[in-house]
């Protein structure tokens, strides 16, 4: 019987046949797919013909179709709907996959063919896109250690395998801590909480099998609890549990894992001839060097800290007016900031939330994509991996563009955060394929589901990533969609957030869950006026995390990452009442894999561009200017990694921006 993962998918648009796939199918499918991929690689490496772009680079692009099918399905369900079996498979697969891909990158005969082509690149009559793919392929082999020999080569394979296992362990430990902790609430404990928080707590209690409402470590529940609960003792208990994820001792403690990861990364970089891991990692990013990253972060840190310190004085006075003596603590900030926002902007999150229905915000994100890029979205009735998921066919001028899948609700089987991934990326070689793109979020369930303004911004953010995938129009999958520099990949997502704040968008789609009435003009104006409220806090918690990440990798690996974290925070004068957005033991961006390691700054680097890019629309015909939308698609959204990120932005904007646009956008300096 054919394994359903490896069979021909006869589903609509060849979406994975989730209904017929069981967890028992993954291991045999992976073994078969790895064997098939190895055979393809061996054939390319052993080809008796002289290396050509077609028989080497394009052959590599075409190889591994079965691997793509297995891994796209497995990583989708293991991240968004995990269980004990899938966690066991993750631990089993990590070293296997590391060894598999390391075997390819260390294949000397294969690398020799790539190196031969690279040496003759000027004679090959390649298109610009082909030349780019050749450069990236050669660079990828070199940076993976293909040129290493003997003991150094062996050690590199050991390091990569160990890092893969450690990343999996870090992720699973974090998921376990988030899944296993909850705080029971009595009916009295619900006093002062708005209905949407009470409803979310009751729904969480049902999911946990508790006798009543609970607070979990899901961001969509714990943050509003910290904002609204008048019970300081409960806020402290919840906050301490939230920030202790990965640092509770025992089997799920991530601190030793973090230390080992940093040591191995440093060793890996030095094997490749770099001074440290940051120098290695940033070489291929827009920023290029640690010094340029630190310069950007510190330009933002100083005004952000100044704003946060001033805000802390105001919040402390409010707390003392409530009869609470002593310093403002981290579990106090959100509570008093919410009270201050209500007082200064007369904006009540509980009153605002009914206007931000999930379904209406999805419609809003689709509507903006239609007005900007002509995309249309029609619901699809197809089996997916979880009942919460829904799907749409994306078309333009009647032509199929993509399939978009949304998985929006928090659950114990889903890792925290929000992300976008492609189950299939756009490509024209070796065959034309349209992308299948997923947005995964962690919003609280409800009937109807209501979002905070921050949730709504997250929805637009992830959909910006989805547009980058859906509008991709390149030949080769390796440079498709979001396959760009890490500090450029957040530009489309952060730029798309701006459309949530366009008054006409909110006026049309921010309608009351019960009455259907549009958001009152007065409230709309307050929402937009308060958009930069508490930016000192938000900027400080983010930049502190980015500076700690950079410090971990720019120099010798610290023997004790927690001590290094404390040292960095002391050096920059971290305000006492603000915690890092991601402290080391739960800093999954950095320790679950190499993606954002030494590169958590990327969001801010991209924000410098996104503020400037949206200004380009405003300077033209407004948020929906067709000329700017066309330029954005042609120069950024459709181009993937086919050119250097800096060149893509210059083609769109004509210049590179300074940090002033970001500071003005966050309200940290006068506009």
DSSP code per residue over 271-302 = HTT-SSHHHHHHTTSSS-SHHHHHHHHHHHHH
C-alpha to C-alpha distance for 460 and 361, rounded to whole angstroms: 8
Closest CA to 159 of 261, 255, 256: 261
Q: Specify whether 634 is catalytic.
A: no
Return d(Cα 149, Cα 373) in angstroms, integer: 50
Task: Please tell me the distance from the alpha carbon of residue 37 to that of residue 104, in angstroms, as a whole number.
Answer: 10
Q: How far apart are CA 412 and CA 179, in angstroms?
A: 5
Express each pLDDT in 34-67 by its tens digit: 999 999 999 999 999 999 999 999 999 999 999 9
Give 210-227 as a DSSP string.
-SS-EEES-HHHHHHHHH
What is the per-residue pLDDT for 665? Answer: 86
CB atoms under 10 Å from CB of 88, counted, come to 13
* Residues 66 and 107 sit within 8 Å (Cβ to Cβ): no
Listing DSSP states for 477-526 in one string gives GGGSTT-S-HHHHHHHHHHHHGGGG-HHHHHHH-B-TTT-PBPPHHHHHH
Q: Would 251-347+535-600 and 354-529+603-665 be classified into the same CATH topology?
A: yes
- Kindly report, residue by residue over 58-82, the tens digit of the pLDDT: 999 999 999 999 999 999 999 999 9
Instruction: Please list the residues that pair with 378 across neighbouring strands.
Output: 393
Domain-wise residue ranges, the chain: 12-147, 181-245, 251-347+535-600, 354-529+603-665
Tell me which residues of the chain have a pLDDT lower than 50.
none
The whole-angstrom separation of Cα 182 and Cα 213 is 10
Task: Pick 354-529+603-665's CATH classification: 3.40.440.10, 1.10.1370.40, 1.20.58.1910, 3.40.50.10490.
Answer: 1.10.1370.40
CA-based nearest residue to 347, from 446, 264, 452, 206? 452
Calpha distance 252→560 (Å, rounded): 18
- pLDDT at 671 (0 to 100): 67
DSSP assigned state of 576: T
CATH number of 251-347+535-600: 1.10.1370.10
* Cα–Cα dist 347/467, whole Å: 32
Question: Could you give the 3-state DSSP secondary structure of residue 408?
Answer: strand
How many CA atoms lie less than 13 Å away from 222 in the CB half-sphere?
A: 23
> From residue 281, how far is each of 105, 161, 608 by CA, in Å?
18, 18, 20
**Which of 462, 490, 497, 633 is flagged as catalytic?**
462
CATH architecture of 12-147: Up-down Bundle (1.20)
Query: Which tokens go with 616?
Result: 């380009």
What tokens were used for 181? 């902790």
DSSP 182-244: EEE--TGGGTT--HHHHHHHHHHHHHHT-SS-EEES-HHHHHHHHHH---HHHHHHHHHHHHT
Within the chain, how many helices (H) and strands (E) appear? Answer: 27, 7
Best CA proximity match to 469, nearest among 430, 429, 513, 439 = 439
Q: Shortest CA distance to 81 belongs to which of 421, 415, 404, 406? A: 415
Nearest one of 101, 79, 94 to 167, comparing CA atoms: 94
């Amino acid at each position: 019987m054919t394994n359903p993962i490896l069979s021909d998918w006869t589903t609509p648009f060849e979406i994975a046949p989730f209904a017929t796939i069981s967890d028992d199918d993954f291991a045999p499918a992976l073994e078969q797919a790895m064997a098939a991929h190895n055979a393809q690689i061996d054939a390319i490496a052993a080809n008796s013909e002289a290396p050509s772009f077609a028989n080497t680079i394009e052959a590599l692009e075409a190889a591994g179709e079965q691997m793509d099918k297995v891994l796209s399905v497995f990583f989708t369900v293991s991240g968004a709907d995990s269980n004990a079996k899938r966690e066991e498979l993750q631990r089993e697969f990590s070293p296997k996959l590391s060894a598999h891909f390391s075997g390819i990158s260390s294949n000397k005969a294969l690398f020799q063919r790539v190196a031969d082509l690279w040496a003759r690149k000027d004679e090959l009559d390649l298109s610009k896109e082909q030349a780019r793919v050749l450069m990236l392929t050669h660079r990828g082999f070199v940076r993976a250690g293909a040129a290493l020999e003997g003991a150094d080569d062996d050690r590199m394979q050991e390091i990569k395998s160990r890092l893969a296992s450690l990343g999996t362990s870090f992720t699973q430990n974090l998921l376990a801590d988030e899944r296993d902790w909850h705080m029971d609430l009595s009916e009295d404990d619900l006093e002062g909480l708005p209905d949407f928080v009470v409803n979310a707590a009751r729904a969480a209690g049902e999911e946990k099998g508790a006798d009543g409402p609970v607070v979990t470590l899901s961001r969509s529940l714990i943050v509003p609890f910290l904002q609204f609960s008048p019970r300081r003792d409960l806020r402290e208990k919840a906050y301490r549990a939230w920030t202790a994820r990965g640092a509770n001792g025992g089997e799920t403690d991530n601190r030793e894992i973090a230390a080992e990861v940093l040591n191995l990364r440093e060793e890996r970089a030095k094997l490749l001839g770099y001074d440290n891991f940051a120098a290695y990692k940033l070489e291929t990013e827009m920023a290029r060097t640690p010094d340029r990253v630190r310069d950007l972060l510190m330009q933002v840190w100083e005004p952000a800290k100044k704003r946060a310190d001033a805000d802390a004085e105001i919040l402390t006075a409010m707390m003392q007016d409530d009869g609470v003596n002593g310093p403002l603590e981290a579990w106090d900030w959100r509570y008093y900031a919410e009270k201050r926002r209500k007082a200064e902007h007369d904006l009540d999150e509980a009153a605002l939330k009914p206007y931000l229905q999930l379904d209406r915000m999805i419609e809003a994100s689709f509507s903006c994509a239609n007005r900007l890029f002509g995309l249309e979205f029609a619901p699809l009735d197809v089996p997916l991996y979880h009942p919460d998921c829904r799907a749409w066919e994306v078309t333009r001028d009647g032509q199929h563009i993509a399939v978009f899948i949304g998985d929006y609700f928090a659950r114990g089987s889903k890792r925290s955060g929000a992300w976008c991934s492609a189950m299939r990326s756009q490509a024209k070689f070796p065959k034309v394929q349209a992308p299948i793109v997923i947005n995964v979020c962690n919003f609280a369930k409800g009937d109807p589901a209501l979002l905070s303004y921050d949730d709504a911004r997250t929805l637009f953010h992830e959909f910006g990533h989805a547009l980058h995938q859906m509008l991709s129009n390149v030949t080769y999958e390796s440079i498709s969609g979001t396959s760009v520099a890490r500090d450029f990949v957040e530009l489309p997502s952060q730029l798309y957030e701006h459309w949530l704040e366009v008054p006409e968008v909110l006026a049309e789609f921010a309608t009351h869950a019960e009455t259907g009435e549009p958001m009152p003009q007065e409230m709309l104006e307050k929402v937009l006026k308060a958009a930069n409220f508490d930016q000192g806090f938000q900027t400080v918690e983010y930049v502190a995390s980015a500076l700690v990440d950079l410090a971990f990798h720019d120099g010798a690996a610290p023997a004790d990452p927690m001590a290094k974290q404390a040292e960095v925070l002391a050096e920059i004068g971290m305000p006492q009442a603000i915690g890092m957005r991601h402290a080391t033991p739960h800093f999954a961006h950095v320790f679950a894999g190499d993606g954002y390691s030494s590169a958590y700054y990327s969001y801010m680097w991209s924000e410098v561009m996104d503020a400037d890019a949206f200004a380009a629309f405003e300077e033209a015909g407004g948020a929906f200017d067709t000329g700017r939308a066309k330029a954005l698609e042609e120069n950024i959204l459709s181009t993937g990694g086919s050119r250097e990120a800096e060149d893509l932005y210059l083609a769109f904007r004509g210049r590179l921006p300074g940090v002033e646009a970001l500071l003005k956008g966050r309200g940290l300096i006068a506009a």
